[in-house]
Structure 1
Amino acid sequence: YCFTQLYKPGEAEKGCMMDGVLYPFGEISRTEGCFRCSCSQSEMHCCTLYTTPVGYDKETCKVIFNEKDCNYEVVPKYPSKECAWHARVG
């Protein structure tokens, strides 16, 4: 998903703030929260780098977020089973 944070004049003098981190003006390829952003003095526009799995067996599988890869993984709740997923949404 995407969002835009609008700034009042003078509010973003040194860059854009997200989750306590100051990011420089310009394009940001990856934030600590796994977003791709564009930062200017008037706004910060960001979109997620990850998609969310859907269409998997919720009885035998669970979804975990891998912060290193900025991605959700579908893993078995029980180690002896395998998980298949059919689609992702962003």
Structure 2
Amino acid sequence: MNALLCSLLVSATFVTLCNAQCYVILNENTPDNLSNECKDLDGVTHPMNSTWKTESCVECSCGQDEINCCNTVAVPVGYDKIKCQKIFNKETCSYKVVERENAEKICSVSGWIL
């Protein structure tokens, strides 16, 4: 019982510190019909124990019972939102923060949230 409580405490602390945006998709397996693949929300099938990244920069993994997916994009916080703007690059799944008046000048960012 103590081991269970300790592991729950560690998990809760990790989730609090990480603040990642994750979700789970349950596989539609029945006990007599176990599949060796997962079907994602777009209807695409993936092999068991595989990982992939979606067009929206979400990394997913296929397990026997579920697909686990988490956002991989760090979002900038703590920058001058009047003087600067964030720009998302879909190819690199990342943001950069630049001046509104001159996009060649990078702005200082004090933190990033995943």
TM range (shorter): 0.7 to 0.9
* Corresponding position: 1:2 with 2:26: no
* Corresponding position: 1:27 with 2:56: no
User: Aligned with 1:24: secondary structure?
Assistant: strand
Greater strand percent: which structure?
1
What stretches of structure 2 of length at least 5 have no aligned partner? 1-20
Tell me the TM-score normalized by structure 2. 0.64
- Rg comparison, structure with higher value: 2
Distance across 2 between alignment mates of 1:59 and 1:85: 13
Tell me the TM-score normalized by structure 1. 0.77
1:24-61 Cα deviation digits (max 9, x unpaired): 13232422221111113531111112111000000011
CA RMSD of aligned residues (A): 2.4
What stretches of structure 1 of length at least 5 have no aligned partner? none
Kindly report structure 1 stretches of 4+ aligned residues shifted beyond 4 Å: none
Distance 1:82 1:29, change over 3 A: same
* Corresponding position: 1:85 with 2:109: yes
Amino acid in the other structure paired with 1:74: V
